[in-house]
A and B are shown apart, each in its own frame.
Chain A
Amino acid sequence: MSVLTTPAGIATGAADALRRRPGADVAGSAFKWLLIGATVFATGFLAVLLAVMIVDGWEVLSGNLWHFLTHGFSQRSAAEAGVWQGILGSLQVALVTGLFAVPTGVATAIYLVEYAQGSRFARIVELNIRNLAGVPSIVYGLLGLAVFVQTIDGFTKGKTVIAGGMTLAAMVLPIVVITSVEALKAVPDSLREAAYGVGATKWEVLSRQVLPAALSTILTGTVLALARALGEAAPLILVGAATGFMSFGDANVLETFTGPYTALPVLIFNFARQPGADWGVNAAAASVIILVLVLAVNGLAIYLRNRFERQW
């Protein structure tokens, strides 16, 4: 009785009564482990994916990698086929994609954030961009086929790297705009006001203060968008990337921009649909190459963002 008469004693008694026995919360820990399981499944399958592809493609990756990387597609046998045309084509397509998508996307973002924020036109453009971001990639292939390949073939020369690059540029444009808008919005107004205060024009404020301040984030978004383009096959199939044997003839590198082309993911698709286990080995080996490529590019971008992200 005497213990419960002091306030401290009452508090201790109450705390003891309320304290759960350790390990009694079975439902709680079961739930927690269920969540951990889900998280491990969600992130761990990448490791499984990579392991399966390395094992399946080991024959090529261990003994034949150099040949595989430096030879073109072969109709005759899987052992002779290589992916260099795909790697070259993917890099060319990514280059064209970047040339079209990055200036347009960044400029759109500048207009939305710096000039028209909150206006009716900006709201329409923003809604439009959100909807474009959800359009399936193969629909962009239709756009490319009808417009870039057939309608403006005087400029693109038909089924070429240029048409393919423009198609993927339309596809990644919303990503570039959305990430650039975020980057520009993160630049504090005090920076702009200081520049105006010393007499800068709007163009000078943007080009010398705002853009340099947002550059690293914009670059990260751009790299992520290009990595997305690098792994995309569906639209390229529609706009005519070669899915079988192709020859550059004696075209030099510049001429390959306006000739037949293919891309690494399209080649993987082609390997995968050939009958026979030896083509499967090629598909797995090429999958490892594209995974390493895309993950490296992405990882670099994400690392740079986390490293250089500025807190204002």
Chain B
Amino acid sequence: MTPPMPQNTSDLSAADLRTSASRRAWSAGARWAFALAALVTVLVSALIIWTVASGAWTFISQVAWGNLTEIGWFPRRGLFDLSTLLVNSVQISVIAMLVAVPSGFGAAIYLSEYAHPKVRKVMKPTLELLASVPSVVLGVFAISFITPSILTNFFDDINFFNKLAAGIAVGLLVIPLIASIAEDALRAVPVALREASSGLGARKVTTSIRVVLPAAMSGLMAAIIVGFSRAIGETMVVTIASGGGDTSLFNLSLTESGGTITSAMAALGLGTDQVAGNNLAFQSLYFLGALLFAITLVLNMAGDVIVRRLQNKY
């Protein structure tokens, strides 16, 4: 039954077992094409860093340093007070976190610890769907609903453009992100911990708060950090709802308008044709970009390190 052996096995060489040259060439060529594509992603990073760094350097080397700490942000008059934009960015992002963290964490705990699998199966995609709501729409929502229909009931003299409404709208925008990272962290906690806790007689609420939450702490921290980074980088909501991107005086009031790093960039970008004059307004766009890039990169890397530590633990 076995096929007959070749008459002269010694006549066969490795070359006879090889496949055709074209098949080998295809396979080798594909490898190089894929490697080239992978290099493109590195190129994108390099170009981003080169773009913002060289533009920022032009700005730093020409600006009068005293103008970086003057009364406010008036790029066309040569006054670039960074603290104005930074304070507004941080204020709005903190408000956003006050909205997003309680509701995002609450939803995450509910979905991971309490919800029936069927409920979970519906709610998880709903959260994903929420993450896709365009930010311009939330900006419109802030000026057409949050300020006039809600905030005016609490604050008599609130500005039409204000940081509070912008912060709330940004918060709504980052809820799905925070909820999804937090839920992943909670589900990474081994079931054995929950079973041990229940076995000792703990109620579900005790197990959730005293056992699961502490065990997932680093993941929850990461959710807050990444959410904050997202809020700092959010542009359209802030540009529409908070105003002040073109010019803003330094102020701490949440019911006043105020430009942020991102809204100042959008305002400068809108006028790219006009600002190409001899002042530094155009270069300040790249400087703000570099600042924003550095801030979000540090935050995201911190979040990443924390998540990694969590993955190693269990």
Task: Assess whether B132 is in contact with A224, with CB atoms less than 8 Å apart.
Answer: yes
A107-B132 contact, Cβ under 8 Å, with A132-B44, A201-B24, A233-B236: no
Number of interface residues of B (CB under 8 A): 91
Instruction: Give min CB distance, A282 to chain B, whole Å.
Output: 10
Q: Which of B40, B137, B265, B300 contacts A134 (CB 8 A)?
A: B300
Q: Which of B104, B229, B304 contacts A42 (CB 8 A)?
A: B104
Instruction: Give min CB distance, B165 to chain A, whole Å.
Output: 13
Task: Assess whether A103 is in contact with B37, with CB atoms less than 8 Å apart.
Answer: yes
Task: Assess whether B144 is in contact with A56, with CB atoms less than 8 Å apart.
Answer: yes
Write out the residue numbers on chain B whose beta carbons fall within 8 Å of the beta carbon of A302: 125, 128-129
Write out the residue numbers on chain B whose beta carbons fall within 8 Å of the beta carbon of A122: 38
Write out the residue numbers on chain B whose beta carbons fall within 8 Å of the beta carbon of A45: 130, 172, 175
Q: Among residues 239 to 278 in chain B, which have CB atoms less than 8 Å away from a CB atom of chain A?
A: 239-240, 262, 265-266, 269-270, 272
Is B95 interfacial (CB 8 A cutoff)?
A: no
Complex alpha-carbon distance, A250 and B110, angstroms: 57
Complex alpha-carbon distance, A102 and B42, angstroms: 16
Is B30 interfacial (CB 8 A cutoff)?
A: yes
Is B135 interfacial (CB 8 A cutoff)?
A: yes
Complex alpha-carbon distance, A290 and B240, angstroms: 17
Is B81 interfacial (CB 8 A cutoff)?
A: no
Is B47 interfacial (CB 8 A cutoff)?
A: yes
Complex alpha-carbon distance, A88 and B236, angstroms: 21
Write out the residue numbers on chain B whose beta carbons fall within 8 Å of the beta carbon of A234: 135, 235-236, 239, 262, 266
Q: Is the interface of B mostly helix, strand, loop or mixed?
A: helix
Complex alpha-carbon distance, A94 and B46, angstroms: 24
Q: Among residues 29 to 63 in chain B, which have CB atoms less than 8 Å away from a CB atom of chain A?
A: 30-31, 33-38, 40-42, 44-45, 47-48, 51-52, 55
Most interface-central of A32, A129, A272 (chain B CB within 10 A): A272
Most interface-central of A18, A45, A139 (chain B CB within 10 A): A139
A38-B205 contact, Cβ under 8 Å, with A107-B33, A108-B38, A287-B137: no
Nearest A-chain residue to B24, judged by Cβ: A201
Task: Assess whether A142 is in contact with B140, with CB atoms less than 8 Å apart.
Answer: no
Listed in ascending order, the chain B residues whose CB lies under 8 Å from chain A are 19, 23-24, 26-27, 30-31, 33-38, 40-42, 44-45, 47-48, 51-52, 55, 102-107, 109-111, 114-115, 123, 125-130, 132-141, 143-145, 172, 175-176, 179, 201, 203-205, 208-209, 226, 229-230, 232-236, 239-240, 262, 265-266, 269-270, 272, 285-286, 289, 292-293, 296-297, 299-301, 304
